[in-house]
């Protein structure tokens, strides 16, 4: 039982990261039905942005995580948002009315550009880079389950952001505009919604969440790599589809499910640790067979 | 917004991802100039980009050095040697493309490479079909020379043109097992990355460790590219191992060691030559002190025979360090150059007979290299079975024991 709970806590932490990234997929899909395949790389960029500013801080500042972490987060967010806005403006907007395949292939191209750009231009990024431990040290034990403060902070930040996003989408003016654009962009525009602005905002919001996930994951796991975006993106995309792409609640749930399935496979299935990705996809397929729109796919109201 | 059919959306994504994964090759070639009338090419397949490029670039520079020196000295009379390194990205599929490209070059006679056993497995046949000699400075997977059934004692050499100057996992794994057991660790957990190298090394380690009387408490696998090892670590931890043996390379081993210590599994991580790299320590952080690695041969810096190599390498001004396999790559290149000197003298073109003569000459190699004496047994394996255990001590790898097995 202790073992189960220990693994559950590992899965929740992993799932929180997946969920944060998945939100970017799901929001963009909700608005313009584009699977933004470059979103995983926005996540990676966030981590690299945070790392860059950390490496340029004076040593005294690096040691104070309460100063260093927020700065890393802010710079990571700036990097990610800038990249997301540029990519929306120059890669996706010209293709807004093109057949759906065109922006999708473009997204894959953008992903390759970001990945290779980081690999070639970021100092030392050809090798995996060490990431500073910017999260609180230490741990506590509940009923034999060891939980690090780093994990607690990751999950706390992730859940706070998820709640904030939900509130933003449901209560704010811009959130309402997002929902209107999602339902029918043409009508929304006729009603005075600046759909271009709404779409950029959506990309930027997704990038903020991805950047935070990137910096937190870097700090928790201690390493970043130029190709991190690919696997993380694929997992997050799976989480978004699992929950019902376009649906914010479903996407968060999907993230946690994928994370938990992975660690439980490691613990309880033979050769589980090597095949954990396989089990994550098996769960996805099973869900899609019985609920083709994903777990929360039919619930229309909360969609953004 | 209506929900479109998910399959319609997902298919191009999947297809696209496959296309992306399959594409992309970075060409780079370090040409050299010399005085011979005819040109002969030595190729290389190694990861020149990507997470393992630190090792690959050290290999590339070292072969480049050997080729430049041979051209300057006119070692192969009448011929100028050109060096053509290709990037295999440590990926078996990319390696297959590299092999197809290199093996079709008519005046190419030898290959130094690969770094990864799994990549070599994909390339061996293409070169062997063309009688191109391939010498790896780093492959340790046993089946590359002794066939897939070596473990049951049924050793057959699959490819006559494949040699290596590194020793194998059949030696390296047991060497590590013996060292750990005699140093007082009687319970270990193992983790491997399921690649040819990692899985083979771990299997050989476990076999010897059990034979010594030790207990393998847990046997886990991960995927190359994984970063979050919390699940595996939580599974291993209750079995109370005295050490974790990792079969794989440093991009995963570094974070694994770091996360082990953060999760309270505060025991040394030990691995093979794949983790013996300064990047491992950077990634594993301050708590990696005490982690162990074996590597083939004796430490390059400590070898009297390698002094000149180290000096020449520095003098040549390469940007990257020669890394773990530089000295071995240099030796491998020189073995090919020596063989060319015998087989190509008086010849003006490369044909199948010339290539066969080079393969035969490599098999007869008997020279003093910078890593020690170089010669091959009937499987193409090196007869130089020296290994060294390294330990992370105050943030750097320090040799603790050099021995033959």
In chain A, residues with a C-beta closer than 8 Å to the C-beta of B259 are 221-222
Structure-block tokens of residue A36? 């933004």
Least CB–CB distance from B283: residue in A3, A130, A139: A130
Q: Output the pLDDT for position B46.
A: 96
What is d(CA A255, CA A243) in angstroms, rounded to the nearest whole number? Answer: 8
Instruction: Give chain B's residues under pLDDT 70.
Output: 1-35
Residue A264 covered by a domain? no
In chain B, residues with a C-beta closer than 8 Å to the C-beta of A130 are 254, 282-283, 285
Q: Output the pLDDT for position B70.
A: 96
Residue A257 covered by a domain? no
Question: What's the pLDDT band for A221 if we cut at 50, 70, 90?
Answer: very high
- Nearest-Cα distance to chain A for B315, in Å, is 23
Domain B169-296+387-404 listed as CATH 3.40.50.2300: yes
C-alpha pair distances (Å), B173 with each of A56, B198, B272, B374: 42, 10, 7, 22
Residue A109 covered by a domain? yes
Least CB–CB distance from A288: residue in B6, B227, B258: B6
Least CB–CB distance from B223: residue in A237, A245, A277: A277
Q: Output the pLDDT for position B168.
A: 87
Fold match flag (B38-167+302-374 vs B169-296+387-404): yes
Cα B327 to chain centroid distance, Å, stands at 12
Q: Output the pLDDT for position B20.
A: 47
Q: What chain A residue is nearest to B226 in terms of C-alpha separation?
A: A231
Q: Output the pLDDT for position B217.
A: 96
Contacts 24+ apart (CB under 8 A), B96-100: B96/B122, B96/B123, B96/B126, B97/B25, B98/B25, B98/B45, B98/B123, B99/B45, B99/B123, B99/B126, B99/B127, B100/B126
Q: Output the pLDDT for position B84.
A: 97
Q: What chain B residue is nearest to A13 in terms of C-alpha separation?
A: B230
pLDDT, chain B, mean: 89
Question: How many Cα neighbours within 13 Å face the side chain of A240?
Answer: 32
Residue A129 covered by a domain? yes
What is d(CA B133, CA B136) in angstroms, rounded to the nearest whole number? Answer: 10
Superfamily designation of domain B38-167+302-374: Response regulator (3.40.50.2300)
Q: What chain A residue is nearest to B52 in terms of C-alpha separation?
A: A127
Structure-block tokens of residue A156? 């706390």
**Under the phi-then-psi rule, with left for phi > 0, alpha for psi from -120 to 50, and beta for the rest, what region is B394?**
left
Q: Do B231 and A184 touch (CB under 8 A)?
A: no
In chain A, residues with a C-beta closer than 8 Å to the C-beta of B28 are none
In this structure, the number of other CB atoms found within 10 A of the CB of residue B7 comes to 9
Taking the CA atoms of B258, B260, B263 and B264 in sequence, report the sign of the dihedral they define.
negative
Q: Do A10 and B54 touch (CB under 8 A)?
A: no
Q: Output the pLDDT for position B31.
A: 42
Least CB–CB distance from B263: residue in A11, A111, A146: A146
Question: What's the pLDDT band for A298 if we cut at 50, 70, 90?
Answer: low
Q: Do B279 and A246 touch (CB under 8 A)?
A: no
Is residue B255 less than 8 Å (CB to CB) from chain A? yes
Task: Assess contact for A18 and A236: CB atoms under 8 A.
Answer: yes
Is residue A101 less than 8 Å (CB to CB) from chain B? yes
Is residue B232 less than 8 Å (CB to CB) from chain A? yes
Task: Assess contact for B110 and B45: CB atoms under 8 A.
Answer: no
Domain that holds residue A187: 12-228
What is d(CA B160, CA A201) in angstroms, rounded to the nearest whole number? Answer: 62
For the sheet with B243-247, list strands across it. B215-221, B187-192, B243-247, B269-271, B292-296, B386-393, B396-404
What is d(CA A180, CA B84) in angstroms, rounded to the nearest whole number? Answer: 58
Q: Output the pLDDT for position A292.
A: 86
Which of A207, A5, A240 lies closest to B3 in space, CA to CA? A240
Tokens 């957990």 locate to: B189
Taking the CA atoms of B94, B100, B106 and B108 in sequence, report the sign of the dihedral they define.
positive
Is residue B1 less than 8 Å (CB to CB) from chain A? yes
Q: Output the pLDDT for position B35.
A: 56
Contacts 24+ apart (CB under 8 A), A75-78: A75/A49, A75/A50, A76/A45, A76/A46, A76/A47, A76/A48, A76/A49, A76/A50, A76/A211, A76/A212, A76/A214, A76/A215, A77/A46, A77/A49, A77/A207, A77/A208, A77/A211, A77/A212, A78/A49
Give the containing element (helix H, strand E) for B59.
helix B53-73
Question: What's the number of domains chain A is made of?
Answer: 1
Q: Output the pLDDT for position B161.
A: 96
Residue A33 covered by a domain? yes
Per-domain boundaries in chain B: 38-167+302-374, 169-296+387-404
Strand B38-46 to strand B79-87: parallel, antiparallel, or no bridges (unpaired)? parallel
- Nearest-Cα distance to chain A for B378, in Å, is 36
More confident residue, B116 or A299: B116
Q: Output the pLDDT for position B195.
A: 86
What is d(CA A173, CA B236) in angstroms, rounded to the nearest whole number? Answer: 51
Q: Output the pLDDT for position B91.
A: 92
| ipTM for the complex shown | 0.89
Q: What chain A residue is nearest to B17 in terms of C-alpha separation?
A: A108
Say how many CB pairs under 8 Å bridge A and B: 141
Q: What chain B residue is nearest to A5 in terms of C-alpha separation?
A: B234
């Amino acid at each position: 039982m202790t073992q189960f709970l220990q693994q559950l806590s590992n899965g929740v932490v992993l799932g929180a990261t997946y969920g944060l990234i998945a939100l970017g997929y799901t929001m963009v899909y909700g608005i313009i039905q584009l699977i933004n395949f470059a979103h995983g790389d926005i996540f990676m960029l966030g981590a690299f942005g945070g790392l860059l500013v950390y490496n340029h801080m004076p040593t005294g500042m690096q040691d104070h995580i309460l100063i260093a972490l927020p700065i890393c987060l802010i710079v990571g967010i700036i990097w990610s948002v800038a990249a997301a806005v540029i990519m929306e403006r120059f890669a996706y907007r010209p293709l807004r009315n093109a057949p759906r395949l065109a922006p999708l292939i473009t997204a894959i191209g953008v992903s390759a550009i970001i990945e290779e750009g980081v690999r070639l231009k970021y100092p030392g990024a050809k090798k995996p880079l060490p990431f500073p431990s910017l999260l609180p040290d230490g741990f506590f034990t509940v009923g034999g389950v060891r939980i690090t403060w780093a994990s607690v902070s990751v999950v706390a930040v992730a859940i706070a952001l998820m709640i904030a996003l939900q509130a933003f989408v449901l209560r704010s003016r811009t959130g309402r505009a997002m929902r209107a654009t999602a339902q029918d962009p043409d009508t929304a525009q006729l009603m005075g919604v600046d759909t271009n602005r709404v779409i950029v905002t959506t990309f930027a919001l997704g990038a903020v969440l991805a950047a935070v996930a990137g910096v937190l994951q870097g700090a928790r796991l201690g390493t970043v790599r130029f190709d991190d975006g690919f696997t993380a993106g694929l997992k997050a995309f799976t989480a978004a589809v699992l929950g019902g792409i376009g649906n914010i609640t479903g996407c968060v749930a999907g993230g946690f499910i994928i994370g938990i399935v992975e660690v439980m496979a490691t613990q309880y299935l033979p050769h589980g640790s090597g095949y954990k990705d396989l089990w994550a996809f098996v769960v996805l397929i099973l869900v899609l067979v019985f609920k083709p729109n994903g777990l929360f796919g039919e619930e229309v109201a909360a969609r953004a | 917004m209506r929900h479109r059919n998910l399959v319609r959306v997902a298919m191009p994504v999947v297809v696209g991802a496959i296309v992306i994964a399959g594409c992309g090759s970075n060409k780079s070639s370090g040409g050299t100039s010399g005085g011979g009338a005819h040109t002969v090419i030595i190729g290389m397949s190694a990861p020149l980009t990507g997470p393992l490029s630190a090792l690959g670039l050290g290999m590339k520079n070292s072969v480049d050095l050997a080729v430049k020196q041979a051209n300057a000295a006119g070692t192969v009379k009448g011929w100028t040697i050109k060096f053509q390194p290709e990037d295999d990205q440590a990926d078996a599929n990319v390696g297959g493309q590299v092999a197809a490209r290199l093996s079709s070059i008519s005046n190419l006679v030898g290959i130094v490479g690969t770094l990864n056993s799994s990549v070599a497995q994909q390339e061996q046949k293409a070169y062997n079909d063309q009688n191109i000699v391939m010498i790896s400075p780093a492959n340790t997977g046993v089946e590359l020379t002794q066939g897939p059934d070596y473990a049951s004692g049924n050793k057959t050499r699959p490819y006559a043109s494949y040699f290596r100057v590194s020793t194998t996992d059949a030696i390296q794994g047991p060497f590590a097992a013996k060292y750990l057991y005699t140093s007082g660790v009687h319970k270990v957990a193992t983790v491997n990355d399921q690649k040819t190298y990692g899985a083979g090394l771990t299997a050989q380690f476990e076999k010897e460790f059990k034979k010594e009387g030790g207990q393998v408490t847990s046997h886990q696998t991960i995927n190359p590219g994984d970063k979050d090892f919390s699940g595996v670590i939580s599974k291993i931890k209750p079995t109370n191992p005295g050490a974790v043996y990792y079969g794989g390379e440093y991009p995963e081993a570094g974070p694994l060691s770091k996360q082990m210590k953060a999760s309270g599994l505060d025991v040394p991580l030990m691995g093979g030559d794949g983790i013996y790299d300064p990047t491992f320590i950077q990634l594993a952080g301050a708590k990696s002190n005490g982690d162990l690695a074996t590597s083939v041969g004796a430490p390059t810096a400590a070898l009297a025979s390698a002094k000149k190599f180290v000096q020449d390498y520095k003098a040549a001004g390469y940007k990257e360090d020669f890394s773990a396999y530089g000295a071995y790559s240099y030796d491998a290149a020189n073995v090919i150059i020596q063989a060319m000197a015998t087989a190509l003298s008086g010849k003006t073109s490369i044909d199948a007979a010339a290539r066969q003569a080079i393969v035969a000459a490599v098999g007869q190699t008997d020279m003093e290299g910078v890593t020690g004496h170089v010669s091959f047994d009937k499987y193409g394996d090196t007869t130089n079975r020296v290994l060294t255990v390294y330990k992370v001590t105050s943030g750097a790898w320090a040799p603790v024991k050099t021995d033959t097995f």
